[in-house]
Structure 1
Amino acid sequence: MAYLTRRVTFSAAHRLWSNQLSDEENYQIYDKCANPNGHGHNYILEVTVYGQPDPKTGMVMNLTDMKRITNEQVVDWVDHKHLNHDVPWLEGVIPTAELLVIKFWERLEQEFPPGLLYEVTLHETENNSASYRGERADVLEARLP
């Protein structure tokens, strides 16, 4: 198998806040990330596909197609936006890196050729990132000894 990754950047604001918690709990858990006006990040999104390279093209997937799909399904929606207010498909989602990467996967998976999407990783800061490999990976990992 060969793995191919496309990396893109975008800037967005968000506020971490759960309506299931009290104000005190939200500030205790999310600290400065619970700022009422939100705060911003320069995110890095990595989208990885895997498979056998096509013998005719030498590619697992054309990077031009990866770029187009990633931009249409994710980046064009979130770049320079407030994730809590401006992105309809994130309505009601606490925009943690963990939940964002799952939501990004869901959108990308619809457009990539079936079974080609391997992993989506979102770097929120230099030190913090989250990765998701879809439901199928959860099932496969659960079977490991």
Structure 2
Amino acid sequence: MKVSVFRKEQFNSAHRLFNPEWSDEKNDRIFGKCNNPNFHGHNYELVVRLTGEVDTETGYVYDMKILSDIINEHIIDRFDHKNLNLDVKEFKNLNPTAENIVIVIYRILRDQIDSRYDLKIQLYETKRNFVEYPA
């Protein structure tokens, strides 16, 4: 029988939503305040869900200390107190919307976690706005 385990972490990042192929007016119309040329920030909450079989020897699906270490090394250290547009290579040419951020996080973590575990990521940009991948 499969069980899901969850780990919550948080990071603080700045970004600007902007499409360089559009006019300033169109960027303002589509992205509003999120298009501030001086950037703006969020206190992101990250929820990582792993689903798998319970190990008969440990009673764990996955060692949560190891999961926390993976998340901190590969996500938090990379994203926390960074300007996503300027400091994070994955967003050099990718608009750092919540949708794109959650996909990037998923891909990074998927490379670190054995594929026998199902992985799902939720990312809260605000208390009311969040995304999930895969859907």
SS in 1 for 2:27: helix
**Comparing both chains, which one has the higher relative contact order based on Cα–Cα distances under 8 Å and sequence gaps of 6 or more?**
2
* Conserved? CA contact 2:52–2:118, under 8 Å: no
* Conserved? CA contact 2:14–2:42, under 8 Å: yes
Structure 1 segments of 4+ aligned residues over 2 angstroms from their partners:
none
1:100-122 deviations in whole A, cap 9, x for unaligned?
A: 00000000000001131420110
1:19-48 deviations in whole A, cap 9, x for unaligned?
A: 232211110010000000100100000111
* Conserved? CA contact 2:18–2:31, under 8 Å: yes
**Residue 131 of structure 1: how far off its partner (Å):** 0.5
* Conserved? CA contact 1:3–1:49, under 8 Å: yes
* Conserved? CA contact 1:10–1:43, under 8 Å: yes
Aligned equivalent of 1:97: 98
SS in 1 for 2:29: helix
* Conserved? CA contact 2:52–2:61, under 8 Å: yes
**Residue 91 of structure 1: how far off its partner (Å):** 1.4
**Residue 93 of structure 1: how far off its partner (Å):** 1.2
* Conserved? CA contact 2:110–2:119, under 8 Å: no
SS in 2 for 1:55: coil
SS in 1 for 2:4: strand
Please show how residues 41-52 of structure 1 align to structure 2 within 5 Å: 41-52=42-53
Cα distance in 1 for partners of 2:110, 2:119 equals 9
Cα distance in 2 for partners of 1:108, 1:117 equals 11
Cα distance in 1 for partners of 2:42, 2:106 equals 20
TM-score scaled to structure 1, two decimals?
0.89
SS in 1 for 2:48: strand
* Conserved? CA contact 1:50–1:118, under 8 Å: yes
Corresponding position: 1:53 with 2:54: yes
Identity of aligned residues (%): 39
SS in 1 for 2:49: strand
TM-score scaled to structure 2, two decimals?
0.95
Aligned equivalent of 1:142: none
**Residue 50 of structure 1: how far off its partner (Å):** 0.2
Equivalent pairs counted in the alignment come to: 134
**Residue 132 of structure 1: how far off its partner (Å):** 0.3
> 5+ unaligned residues in a row in structure 2: which ranges?
none
AA partner of residue 81 (structure 2): H
Cα distance in 1 for partners of 2:99, 2:116 equals 22
CA spacing shift, 1:73–1:117, aligned 2, 3 Å: farther
